[in-house]
Chain A
Amino acid sequence: MKRLIACAAALAMLAAPGAWAQNFDDPEEFAKQREQLAMTPMGPEGMPWEQYLEDTMADTAQHAKEGPYTVCFSNAGVNNPWRVVGWNNMQAEVELHPEIAELVHVDAEGSDDKQIADISDLLAGGNCDILIVSPNTTAALTPAVERACEQLPVIVFDRGVNTDCPVTFIHPVGGYGFGIQGAEFVAENVEAGANVLMLRILPGVDVLETRYSAGRRIFEEAGINIAGAEFTDGDNAKTKSIVEDYIARGQIDAVWMDAGATAVAAIEAFEDSGLEVPVFVGEDQQDFLQKWQELGLTAIAPTYPTYQWRTPIIAAVRILEGEEVPGPEWVLPQPAITADNLDQYINEGMPPLHYAMCGCEEMPGYPERWGGR
């Protein structure tokens, strides 16, 4: 009883103010990203990690400095395969730049509190010429990044911060774009009124919430019936179980996922039930791409490219040399893998959760550094 009262009291207090929820369904941002997907990128052909979609430049003359440079990097963590691939990209990119003497790397292991401490340690150490931050969360890291900006040039990538003090914020088109690419493909390949199952990892993660809201918006516009939206925790066994349950209850014409790490488990649920695999939205993980080719699926793989981990190093060197870089936002192109270019991304020597859109094939140490053969 006490527990109930405690619970109720806490909830009552929480529910009172009510207006704090972040907006993950912003029609303006949706429209902007939809536009960006269609743009032709500027910059060198075939090197998307150096390309950019918005044509504003940040002046960096004030940061020009003699080399060699010490680049410091505060990483939110390498707690998922996407970040592992990205971190390998970044280390390989550093090897391409002799003007970088050292990359000082601190890993916050997914904790905001620790990342704030890490950044202040890096600043106190006083060795850094430039600071790269991949924030664990946007809101919590903003003050720490602001303090860092007062001392040295800062580059932020992947998730953003609520301040424009960094020299540039590097990111691909974004979550809405990811959601749009997958959902539009589904809408083109099924009839109106078809049943789509939406599989999500976790609630509350900004980059994932926007993917979902964009997907949902497009399905609703196209008159596609959302049979269900379920959280899988990124867990293979749970994903397979959920899909099996949906199969048992009725027809599924398409599966949309906000991230593809468990895509193969979802496909296997159809295989093991002896059913045809429906229209499928995955991501650029090797295991999904190989399964797609093997079964000849009608599928698409939107990407949140890991090559964006190369760009901060490129930007760091340019900034310290006083060259201009795209800023205050460096928007990278965000291509999707389709049936037309599937072949060029498949490499059976790479591990199952290697992200094919890594832009790393020509880099030092490929493929061993990424766990391949």
Chain B
Amino acid sequence: MSDAMLATRRSRIRFETIAPAVILLGAVAIYIGVVIASGQARYLSLENLVGVFNRSIALAITAIGQTFVILVASIDLSVAALISASAVLASVVMGGEPAMIVPAIAAVLVLGAIVGLANGLVVTKLEVNPLIATLGMALIIQGCLSAFVSNFAGSVPKDFQFFAYGIAFGLPVSLIFIGLLALLSWFVLRFTRFGANIYSVGGNREAARFAGIKTARVVIAAHVISSLCAATAGLYLASRLGSGAPWIGRDGMYDLESIAVVVIGGTVLAGGRGGIWGTIAGVLIFALIDSLFNIVGVDAFAKQVLRGVIIIAAVGFYAVRSQRMAA
């Protein structure tokens, strides 16, 4: 029994690493093809490719957090509102003072932890469907935020903009940050007991409970991680925009896009299967598509249609493939 489970688990893991990679390779191939065909080979420079990924830092941070919640078969729709709230809170607390950077970061992370804790508790203790719980939370955060701020508020000091614009070891700081965050998440999911618990709880909550795992704690922890990531994305946007406004999360569609990216990356909405590298591949796919649209000059409305179709097609491709593999 356990051998059989292990075997299917292993083959699934292999497939999950392959499927997003296949889609990513496809996207890269199309990108290179289009760039060469349209005679704009300068877009193939390393610098430009770094630039392509740099478009999606906030999405990447959010999506890494979202991966954890989706792995435990939950979902987090409150990230967009939390991003706005964090960015505003950060820039207001900083108020242009370099001395306030650390307190501001602390305040934002505390806010993130509280929101994540609240989400997790509502989902586990009140047994509210996570979709509704986090949607409700999103409305509450957005409402509280809009009641007090209606425009850009506060400002971040120049030093803090190092997060978004700084260069270290020849690479953008933000990119290095993403790399480290992804490595850390991968390590946690792959090599720690907590990571194993996440997969068990997401795979089969009842079985995990019987196996002695405190499932509620795992789900709450996943929500806290997701909210902390969203709060960090808010910090990043405050650093990038120089200030925070109550609409930046919503306008970036970070809630739906982060879910789409995670799912395109092969993490299953029902939980228990998937991982960080798939999510990173998903973000890269989105970033490449975005950049491609700009190069080709697709108009904004057609872009939207293509994006919708790509989401369905990518997830469809994955789901059908995995069905066949399982069968």
Tell whether any CB of A sits under 8 Å from a CB of B in the complex.
yes
Name A residues whose Cβ lies closer than 8 Å to a Cβ of B: 2-3, 5-7, 9-11, 13-17, 20-22, 77-79, 104-107, 109-114, 116-118, 120-121, 124-126, 137, 139-140, 142-143, 203-204, 206
Instruction: Find out whether the CB atom of A10 lies under 8 angstroms from the CB atom of B111.
Output: yes
Asked, given contacts A3-B118, A6-B111, A109-B300, whether A140 binds B243 with beta carbons under 8 Å apart, the answer is yes
> Could you say which residues of chain A place their CB within 8 Å of the CB of B95?
17, 20
Selected contact of A105 from candidates B141, B153, B297, B301, CB within 8 Å = B297
15 A-B pairs (CB sep. < 8 Å)? A6-B115, A9-B111, A13-B107, A13-B111, A14-B145, A17-B92, A109-B303, A113-B237, A117-B55, A124-B47, A137-B152, A139-B243, A140-B241, A140-B243, A204-B247
Asked, given contacts A114-B55, A117-B55, whether A139 binds B242 with beta carbons under 8 Å apart, the answer is yes
- Interchain nearest-CB distance for A172 vs B (Å): 21
Instruction: Find out whether the CB atom of A113 lies under 8 angstroms from the CB atom of B118.
Output: no
Instruction: Find out whether the CB atom of A5 lies under 8 angstroms from the CB atom of B55.
Output: no
Q: State the CA gap A80–B241 with chains docked (Å).
A: 23
> Could you say which residues of chain A place their CB within 8 Å of the CB of B300?
77-79, 107, 109
- Interchain nearest-CB distance for B292 vs A (Å): 12
Q: State the CA gap A117–B92 with chains docked (Å).
A: 24
- Interchain nearest-CB distance for B20 vs A (Å): 23
Asked, given contacts A10-B144, A14-B92, whether A139 binds B252 with beta carbons under 8 Å apart, the answer is no
B88 beta carbon closer than 8 Å to chain A: yes
B193 beta carbon closer than 8 Å to chain A: no
Chain A: interface secondary structure?
Answer: helix
Q: State the CA gap A242–B152 with chains docked (Å).
A: 28
Asked, given contacts A2-B117, A126-B42, whether A7 binds B144 with beta carbons under 8 Å apart, the answer is yes
B151 (CB) vs chain A CBs: closest residue? A204
Q: State the CA gap A124–B204 with chains docked (Å).
A: 49
Number of interface residues of B (CB under 8 A): 58
B299 (CB) vs chain A CBs: closest residue? A107
> Could you say which residues of chain B place their CB within 8 Å of the CB of A10?
85, 89, 111, 141, 144-145
> Could you say which residues of chain A place their CB within 8 Å of the CB of B42?
125-126
Asked, given contacts A110-B251, A112-B241, whether A120 binds B51 with beta carbons under 8 Å apart, the answer is yes
> Could you say which residues of chain B place their CB within 8 Å of the CB of A106?
294
A5 (CB) vs chain B CBs: closest residue? B114
Selected contact of B154 from candidates A17, A77, A107, A142, CB within 8 Å = A17
Instruction: Find out whether the CB atom of B121 lies under 8 angstroms from the CB atom of A2.
Output: yes
Residues of chain B in range 234-284 having any CB-CB distance to chain A below 8 Å: 237, 240-243, 245-248, 251-252
B47 (CB) vs chain A CBs: closest residue? A124
Q: State the CA gap A356–B55 with chains docked (Å).
A: 37
A78 (CB) vs chain B CBs: closest residue? B300
Instruction: Find out whether the CB atom of B54 lies under 8 angstroms from the CB atom of A20.
Output: no
B108 (CB) vs chain A CBs: closest residue? A13
Residue-by-residue, is B151-165 near A (CB-CB < 8 Å gives 1, otherwise 0)?
A: 111110000010000
Instruction: Find out whether the CB atom of B148 lies under 8 angstroms from the CB atom of A15.
Output: yes
> Could you say which residues of chain A place their CB within 8 Å of the CB of B93?
13, 16-17
Selected contact of A113 from candidates B137, B146, B240, B301, CB within 8 Å = B240
B140 beta carbon closer than 8 Å to chain A: yes
Instruction: Find out whether the CB atom of B51 lies under 8 angstroms from the CB atom of A124.
Output: yes
> Could you say which residues of chain A place their CB within 8 Å of the CB of B51?
117, 120-121, 124
Q: State the CA gap A20–B48 with chains docked (Å).
A: 37
Q: State the CA gap A117–B297 with chains docked (Å).
A: 15
